[in-house]
Chains A and B, each alone.
Chain A
C-alpha cells in the first residue's frame, strides 16, 4: 500500500507520502516526483536502466538521497524512472535497479530533492509517512 498527495507550498512543491513498508515508501516518493516531472506529458520507449547503491545516515536520509540520485539520472538521461527493483534494502542502505523511459521534455524544472521537513516516522496505523519538498 502506498500513496502520495501534493500539499500546497508557497515557492516550491511538496508531497506527503504514506506506505506500509519502506520499499513502498520509496515507490510513493518516486511516483510523486515523477508526477511533478512529467505533468500532463507521457513517457516513451524504455531507454535506460540504472543501478543505484547508496549508504545513508538513517531512513529519512536514505529516502531523500535515493530520490535525489534518481532525479540526477532523470535530468542527465532525459528519462523518467518508474520501475524499481530492490535487491537489498535496510534503513541505511539500498541496492536497486530502475528502468527509465524517454521523455521529450519535463513539465517542471525540479532542481533538487531537499531534506526540508523530511522525517520518516511510523504513525498510529504503523504506516511510514513523511513530507518531501522539491526545490523547483
Chain B
C-alpha cells in the first residue's frame, strides 16, 4: 500500500518543531482547546433555545476568550487548526499529519 503521508515532514522541512507539530506541549494545548470547545458548544446550543439568558451569554464570552488565546498559540507553535490559520509564510502546514482520526492525534 502506498503511504506518502508525512512525506514533507520526513523530508526535513522545518517549522517550530518539524512539520505539523505533535509534541507533548502541542498535544497538551490541543487537549485544552478540545475541552473549552466542548463547553462552548453546550453553551451555544443552550443559547439557541434561550437567546435572552444574560448569564449564559456572559459564560459564553468568557469561554470564547479562552478559546481565542489557545487557537492563537496553537496556530503559532503547532500548525493551523483551520484552513484560515496557516501562519507560516514558507510552509503550507495545513496538510501535515497526524489527521484527527488517527490515534496519534488523540
| A and B assemble together | no
- Residues of A near any B CB (own CB < 8 A): none
- Residues of B near any A CB (own CB < 8 A): none
